Amino acid sequence: YSSANFDETVFDDPHSFDIGRDPNPHVGFGGGGAHYCVGANLAKLEIDLMFNAIADHLPDIRALAEPDRLRVGWLNGLKHFPVAYR
């Protein structure tokens, strides 16, 4: 059935608002299925092009640590990604 974030097998007490719910596999952007964001593939392509353009200008760029991700509500992104280059 189409529950859109109210599936009792996925969410404990799905009808209660819980800002700290963890894990929170909601369908906002990357949940998959019928509610998957129609712009997700375009956003992924844009990010890929952006990082490739940066790498073209800074060929020695390298990650210093794993990125600090931001995954809240409908946002999924990077908060901090330390890199080094020459």
10 versus 31: the higher-pLDDT residue is: 10
Give Cβ neighbours of residue 58 (< 8 Å, ≥ 6 apart). Answer: 85
* Residue 53: predicted pLDDT: 95
pTM of the predicted structure, to 2 decimals:
0.47
Evaluate whether 24 touches 5 at the Cβ level (below 8 Å): no
Please compute the mean of the pLDDT values over residues 53-80 and round it to a whole number.
88
Q: Quote the CA–CA distance of 11 and 71 in Å, as a whole number.
A: 17
Residue pLDDT, tens place only, 25-52:
766 655 555 656 778 789 889 989 998 9
